[in-house]
Amino acid sequence: MDNSTIWFAFGLTLFAGLCTGIGSALAFFSKRTNKSFLSIALGFSAGVMIYVSMIEIFFKAKDALCTEMGERPGYWVTVIAFFGGMGVSALIDKLVPDFENPHEPHVVEDMTAQARQEHSGKLLRMGVFSALAIAIHNFPEGLATFVSALKDPALGMSIAVAIAIHNIPEGIAVSVPIYYATGSRRKAFGLSFVSGLAEPVGALVGYTILAPFMTDTIFGILFAAVAGIMVFISLDELLPTAREYGEHHLSIYGLVAGMAVMAVSLLLFV
């Protein structure tokens, strides 16, 4: 594989992961959380992921596997890998306790009120565990972005932008409680920054392990699993959080807009 393609894929993954820092910046410099914007943005991200997974990635994986294995076995492996990706995401969610799940919606105003009422140690613990939970969730997301960019750079760019959008509220989830517990913007931003690095780390570790065995069949299986991971993330994390941040209709408008933008971008690259 061309080194420039690998570096490009890694750069996209790094960009997506570091967008947790944008969430930190919004938390520090905004007096109020624009919940309508976050609701639409998260819905948009979900729309991009669902459309590209079901319309583009799944069928690219199917075509590759059917070419390598035959029509019927290839289709079966595609479907199994797709639901396997969902299973990996579900297992990660199962291992992260609900009260420390970073995908619960957080706003600056709520955290400010909470800081006045609760002991700083509890806030610090919340922030640290949120960072750990986000790092765990970001690991497969990083591999998903990286593999997609390796297979199709234009597709990888779309996925990186979608994941970057959904990392913004995660930055808020980490940085705000740590800031109010410690009074240090540097510590809060630093931990948020580190949690975002789990995405490029996930890409590097995953690729390092799989690179010696990389064939069209392995790529097809990974691609199908990536589709499953992104659909699960959208249905289990992005859409419920988008609805919590704003009105139900705003998240759906964002979802439809994300699908439309993804559809047009794919048509432009045909």
Binding-site positions for Fe(2+):
138, 141, 167, 170, 199
Angstrom distance (rounded) from CA 36 to CA 107: 12
For 233, the token pair is: 């993330």
Q: Give dist(CA 204, CA 44) in Å, integer.
A: 27
Q: Which residues are annotated as a binding site for Zn(2+)?
A: 141, 166, 170
Q: Which of 148, 197, 143, 226 is nearest to 15 (CA)?
A: 197
d(CA 201, CA 139) in angstroms, rounded, equals: 7
**Tokens at residue 3, please?**
């080194």
Residue stretches of the annotated binding site: 138, 141, 166-167, 170, 199
Only one residue has tokens 């613990």, namely: 125
